[in-house]
């Protein structure tokens, strides 16, 4: 059985991935790493071991890895794209200095490492539609620069030191559990909250701006399946394009109106997020992930909309 440490367990992906990994590998085998400003709460805190782990403190990571006999690290610490533009030095410190700490601990202790990359690792010079697995990246944001550098560093540790590093390039992730913070694709989560609350949605991204998106259950499955994949079949490591759906604000708005016909949306463009969105691909080609480890999404836009509206309605009515 794997012994897993999650760094950033209380964030948007971490809070759900920790619970999913505990379900798959057993509660006591999954350590939720957190920083004091974002401590675990409720089920996350109560269902398994928790340890303070600051990604910028290599010794702290090493101590927790030794204490719990960790063999796999999910490194989820990062600042998202829009907030990374406001705090570029911190984005680099967490994304790259932090990743180096993780890779060094992994090298010394023989751990496998998952570090998500993103559609943000591509820039305006990449082909926009059917963006290939291997192509020019050249991102313009600090977030994207840390993601490309992270991919290269992770590949380097694999080829130079034999560290089993793997990852995927996540699209915008949509979930009814933990809200995202500071991303460019966040509008595609916020829009469901407005719809379910019966409020008009002020959309920060222009109609006609397409980005890849994915429902969280598919993203969690991808993070687990890539780490379970047969290594001998992998031609790539860091990072695989994965895709599920691509839409612009108008398309997601119309998908929600099938279930909530009175829902209204107006545009109020956020220039920073719009500029970032325009530099990203419209739609990734994920053939390599499908061929090399059998990636397959389960949720398309309408299936996700149905589930989001059901689950969010339950959650918001309970509060
Ligand atoms: C963001 O918008 O910054 C993230 C991402 C696509 O990586 N959701």
Q: In this predicted model, what pLDDT tens digit does every residue of 158-195 receive, in sequence order?
A: 999 999 999 999 999 999 998 878 999 999 999 999 99
**How far apart (Å, rounded) are the C-alpha atoms in residues 33 and 11?**
11
Nearest CA to ligand 1 atom 7: 118
Q: What is the mean pLDDT of residues 303-310?
A: 98
pLDDT in tens, 131-168: 999 999 999 999 999 999 999 999 999 999 999 999 99
- The tokens of 99 are what? 């990743």
Contact of 169 with 117, CB cutoff 8 Å = yes
Q: What's the CA-to-centroid distance between 79 and ligand 1, angstroms?
A: 9
Q: Which tokens is 116 given?
A: 């998500």
Distances in Å between the Cα of 149 and the Cα atoms of 82, 122, 128, 239, 297 are: 18, 12, 21, 11, 27
Please work out whether the CB of residue 204 comes within 6 Å of at least one atom of ligand 1: no
Query: What is the mean pLDDT of the segment spanning 58-72?
Result: 98
For atom 6 of ligand 1, which residue has the closest CA?
172
**Spatial CA neighbour of 154 closest among 229, 110, 116, 103:** 103
Helices marked H in the chain — which ranges?
14-25, 42-46, 58-68, 81-86, 88-92, 98-109, 142-161, 187-197, 216-228, 249-257, 271-279, 287-293, 301-318
Q: At what angle do helices 187-197 and 249-257 cross, to 10 degrees?
A: 30
For residue 100, with 0-12 CB atoms within 10 Å meaning exposed, 13-18 middle and 19 or more buried, which class applies?
middle
Among 143, 212, 274, 279, the mutation site with the greatest number of ligand 1 atoms within 8 A of its Cβ is 143
Please provide the DSSP assignment of 223-247 as one string. HHHHHHS-GGG-S--S-EE--SEEE
* 312-318 mean pLDDT: 87
Q: How far apart are the CA of 293 and the centre of ligand 1, in A? A: 24
Ligand 1 probe mutation, 79, 84, 184, 276, most atoms within 8 A of CB: 184
Share of the chain above pLDDT 90, in %: 97
Mean pLDDT score, 270-288 = 98
- Per-residue model confidence (pLDDT) at position 181: 82
Mean pLDDT for 52-77 is 98
pTM, to two decimals:
0.96
Mean pLDDT of all residues in the chain? 97
What's residue 198's pLDDT? Answer: 96
Ligand 1 mean position, distance from CA 232 (Å): 30
Asked whether residue 319 carries a pLDDT value surpassing 60, the answer given is no
- Beta pairing class for 211-215 and 245-247: antiparallel
Residue 318 banded pLDDT, cuts 50, 70, 90: low
């Amino acid at each position: 059985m794997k012994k897993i440490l999650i760094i950033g367990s209380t964030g948007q992906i971490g809070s759900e991935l920790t619970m999913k990994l505990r379900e798959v590998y057993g509660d006591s085998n999954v350590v939720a790493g957190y920083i004091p400003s974002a401590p675990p709460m409720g089920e996350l805190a109560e269902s398994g071991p928790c340890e303070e782990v600051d990604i910028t403190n290599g010794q702290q990571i090493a101590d927790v890895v030794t204490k719990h006999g960790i063999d796999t690290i999910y490194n989820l610490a990062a600042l998202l794209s829009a907030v990374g533009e406001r705090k570029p030095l911190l984005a680099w410190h967490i994304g790259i200095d932090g990743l180096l700490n993780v890779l060094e601990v992994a090298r010394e202790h023989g751990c496998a490492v998952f570090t998500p990359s993103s559609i943000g690792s591509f820039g305006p010079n990449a082909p926009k539609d059917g963006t290939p697995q291997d192509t020019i990246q050249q991102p313009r944001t600090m977030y994207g620069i840390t993601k490309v550098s992270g991919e290269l560093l992770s590949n380097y540790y694999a080829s130079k030191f034999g560290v089993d590093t793997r990852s995927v390039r996540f699209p915008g992730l949509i979930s009814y559990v933990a809200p995202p913070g500071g991303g460019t694709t966040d509008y595609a989560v916020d829009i469901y909250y407005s719809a379910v609350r019966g409020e008009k949605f002020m959309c920060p991204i222009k109609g006609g701006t397409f980005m890849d998106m994915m429902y969280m259950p598919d993203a969690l499955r991808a993070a687990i399946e890539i780490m379970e994949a047969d290594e001998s079949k992998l031609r790539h490591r860091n990072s695989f394009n994965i895709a599920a759906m691509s839409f612009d604000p108008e398309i997601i708005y119309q998908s929600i109106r099938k279930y909530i016909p009175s829902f209204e949306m107006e545009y109020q463009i956020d220039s920073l997020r719009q500029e970032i969105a325009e530099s990203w691909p419209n739609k990734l080609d994920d053939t390599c992930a499908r061929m090399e480890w059998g990636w397959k999404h389960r949720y398309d836009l309408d299936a996700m909309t149905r589930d989001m509206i059901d689950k969010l309605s339950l959650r918001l009515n309970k509060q």
